[in-house]
Amino acid sequence: MSVQAQDYPALEHIVVSDGPDPVLASAFKDSIYASTPRYYELPEHPPEAQWGHYARLHGIDLAKGEYVAYLDDDNSWRAGHVRALVGALEETGAGFAYGKQHVHGRGEYLIGTDPPVCGQIDTSMIIHRRELLDLATWRWHPGIPTIDWDLVERWMAAGATWVRVPHVTSDYYFHD
């Protein structure tokens, strides 16, 4: 629903399930999500498919836009998230942008420091230029504590620039 609240005119919305999900597939088939024309389901959820990186890689392959954003199923974007972050990218020429995020469910707190650091950046906070994926892309192995920080850290090490929008643009919900 938070994607539908975005007012960015050229939003391409792709949903990729990282394994069979009959309930979600049925919801898209039955047009509950009528504004989401592109739904894909990966054929299996392998044990090494931690934190949705296979689904993200598949979505990137399908997407056509200059900017790429992610929204995990336990997060939401606030109205204006895409417009604010793309605007910051266009104004500054930075490689990626992010806002602050309100975390709910294990206490209430904000993340999103500048500069970005481990534990202060989440996948759903980020919008980036497609070409950053030539510097580094999603990966997972047991030694990586968080794949979102791993990606951002590798972008920064390769010289990517960033801009932080100083207000809350997304929400993260812990579920037990």
Summarize pLDDT for 96-110 with one digit per residue, the tens.
999 999 999 988 999
At residue 21, the pLDDT reads 81
Q: Looking at the DSSP assignment, which residues form a beta bridge with residue 76?
A: 171
- The residue that leads in pLDDT, 24 or 32, is 24
Max avg pLDDT among 45-49, 50-54, 59-63: 59-63
Contact indicator for 104, 172 with CB cutoff of 8 Å: yes
Amino acid letter at 95? G
Q: Which residues contact 104 (CB under 8 A, 6 or more apart)?
A: 171, 172, 173, 174
Contact 99, 169 (CB under 8 A): yes
Instruction: State residue 162's pLDDT score.
Output: 98
Quickly name the fold that domain 14-173 has.
Answer: Spore Coat Polysaccharide Biosynthesis Protein SpsA; Chain A (3.90.550)
- Contact (Cβ atoms closer than 8 angstroms) between residue 161 and residue 98: no
How is 68-99 classified by DSSP, letter by letter?
Answer: EE---TTEEEPTTHHHHHHHHHHHH--SEEEE
Judged against a pLDDT cut of 60, whether residue 62 lies above it is answered with: yes
pLDDT band at 93 (very low <50, low <70, confident <90, very high): very high
Tokens of 58: 């598949």
Tens of pLDDT, residues 123-147? 999 999 999 999 999 887 777 878 8
- In angstroms, the CA 53 to CA 27 distance is 23
> How confident is the prediction for the chain on average, in pLDDT?
88
